[in-house]
Copies of this chain bind each other. A is one copy, B any other.
């Protein structure tokens, strides 16, 4: 796919609105300075966003005696967005306004009986209705984004492959029409987290960012040159299945030594088992409980937990250093439930290991941080797919 002038205008519209969200209220000169766009371009784009009522005038800046500069704010009544995180065990829905305030949410558990496409579509529709019924929206509904695990064809709106449910080529968006307000957008959780960071998190204002997701599985979302890098088959970002130890631990993907088999939750449990097979921290059937206990034990000074943090941070840092050396990003952002649970102590161990493994020049230009996003980032990112869709269609006669 070639980049067109329309793509550029859309990308610039993203930049202006992202900056306005990060920095509201802001003057036009401030937006021009922060985005690197020309004052004329910013004036045009701000005009469009005012017409769409996504931005509103917000008084004047104290200019210390000069000509007063008009301020622009993101309009909380400019539209509502629905973000749906469909995971293997739950559906989580957030309804947000353009300031990213949550207007309503719904969270429903999924059971094996919900796993057929028709049943899941009904459960998603029900969760969305439950959330929107409680939402006090005063602006237009701009659309809904759906994040689905597995492999998705976002252009066609198809769930190409979802291993845990045995799905192949399910035309999900077609099935959902009527159940969920349109327009609808589909992508995977990794891409949702990346987009959430670009708009509302630690990647905001950066052109080259990597979002690393640490959970049961492990992956990376790549934003390079300000745009998502999707790859030839839309499957870029499988950092979890790059090699950390040649011929190392077996990975559930069938190979050996993958990053995921060391820093995913089951890998961390294996490290704990190797250090102390009978550890009371270990709950064989419950990853979440084990990881939470590790975090608490580390906080309480437990030496076994300290060793697990040191070894896991060492593996994580070595693997992050590969991203630093290969991609030289401005920022690497750790997200996912394992990153949230193990937090700053894991980050500190990982940073020390990155410093041992990375080359000095790209190391100096790369920050490594925890995601600052507090709500469910996958739902937030899914809602952002709908926001991006609305911005892409500005000027095409659609609201």
Contact = CB atoms under 8 A, between A and B. Distances in A.
A236 B326 CA distance: 5
A306 interface: no
Interface of A: 1-5, 8, 11-12, 15, 35-37, 151, 207-208, 220, 222, 224-227, 229-239, 241-246, 248, 253, 255, 315, 318-319, 321-322, 325-330, 356-357, 359, 361-362, 364-366
B232 A328 contact: yes
A243 B318 contact: yes
Given A330-B232, A362-B232, A255 B225 contact: no
A36 B2 contact: yes
Contact of A225 (B227, B243, B364, B366): B227
A231 B329 contact: yes
14 contacts: A1-B36, A5-B5, A8-B8, A222-B327, A232-B366, A237-B328, A238-B325, A238-B359, A239-B326, A243-B243, A243-B319, A243-B322, A246-B248, A326-B326
A12 B248 CA distance: 46
Contact of A357 (B229, B231, B234, B243): B243
Contact of A3 (B226, B233, B329): B226
A234 B365 CA distance: 10
Nearest to A328: B231
Contact of A233 (B12, B225, B362): B362
Say how many copies of this protein the assembly contains: 2
A324 to B, nearest CB: 9
Contact of A238 (B226, B319, B326): B326
Given A232-B328, A233-B365, 15 more contacts: A1-B36, A2-B15, A4-B8, A8-B8, A208-B232, A224-B229, A232-B330, A232-B365, A236-B327, A236-B362, A238-B359, A241-B359, A243-B322, A244-B246, A246-B318
Contacts of A243: 243-244, 318-319, 321-322, 357
Contacts of A3: 3, 8, 11, 225-226
A362 B328 contact: no
Contacts of A231: 208, 327-329, 362, 365
A303 B269 CA distance: 44
Contacts of A246: 244-245, 248, 315, 318
Which 6 residue pairs across A and B have the least CB separation, nearest first? Answer: A231-B328, A233-B365, A236-B328, A232-B365, A242-B322, A238-B325
Contacts of A2: 12, 15, 35-37, 226
Contacts of A230: 328
Given A321-B243, A326-B239, A1 B232 contact: no
A262 B297 CA distance: 40
A319 B322 CA distance: 11
Contacts of A227: 225
Of A36, A220, A236, A242, most B-chain CB atoms within 10 Å = A242
B8 A237 contact: no
A313 to B, nearest CB: 14
Contacts of A12: 2
A326 B240 CA distance: 9
Nearest to A231: B328
Contacts of A330: 232
A121 to B, nearest CB: 25
Nearest to A209: B232
Nearest to A363: B233
